Amino acid sequence: MLLASYQILEIVICSISQNNLLLSQLAFMVIIWLPPIGILLISYLFPIKKKLVFRYSLFLFGLSLLMVFRILLDQNFVNQTVCSVVLARFSNPKIIYIVYSVLYQSGLLSMLFLSASGVINSKDHLQRKLLGQILLGSMAFIIPALITVITVPVTKGALPSIMCHYALFFAIFISRLIYLENKFFRKIPEKIEK
């Protein structure tokens, strides 16, 4: 939902008014919640130190909330939006934009490393499989987005937009996670009845 909300905001920004910087700020306020929610999901599936991972997700929620308040207070958080056919590029020369980027990227990297650690350390087949879906989904949208921004010059400064395009892959893996979990829990009553 967050990624879809970001995409909708990007479409509105690029089709109606690139000068409406409030909508650009709203897009950043929406997408900042993806890493904490992803890590919260990982904490429910994590095989060891669940409370530590859960607390880390709460810490990221707190930092994200502070960032949202900071964006609300800074009317120039985004000082320019440039749209092209398939992407939006936002710019801000201020240090707060770098802080935002570090928070967001470190959250995404945490999703990668924590889900990988969970896959490696889990003894439970289903748990490993579910964490594997988060790992594969994270890899499927983070790595291609980074490669695109590094290799295609026109995408410089458009990482949030590029990531949301690739995030469809993440959504597919999360849908598969839900399918696998539902499939497993449907089998449990069948085993009990026999």
pLDDT computed for residue 193 by the predictor: 45
d(CA 120, CA 187) in angstroms, rounded, equals: 25
- Higher-confidence residue: 72 or 92? 72
Spatial CB neighbours of 88, under 8 Å, sequence gap ≥ 6: 10, 13, 14, 24, 81, 82, 158, 160, 161
Residue 26 near residue 177 (C-beta atoms within 8 A):
no
Max distance between CA atoms of the chain, in angstroms, equals 65
pLDDT tens readout for residues 18-48: 566 677 777 778 888 989 999 999 999 988 8
The answer on pLDDT for 90 being more than 90 is: no
CB 83 within 8 A of CB 18: yes
> In the predicted model, is pLDDT for residue 116 greater than 90?
yes
How do beta strands 88-91 and 80-83 pair? antiparallel
In the chain, domain spans: 2-193
pTM: 0.81
**Tokens in use for 52?**
């530590």
Q: Which of 54-58, 85-89, 172-176 has the lowest mean pLDDT?
A: 85-89
Question: Which residue has better confidence, 88 or 146?
Answer: 146
Of 139 and 152, the structure prediction assigns the larger pLDDT to: 139
- Residue 98: per-residue pLDDT: 81
What share of the chain has pLDDT > 90, as a percent? 38
Going 10 to 14 to 20 to 21, the CA torsion angle's sign is: positive
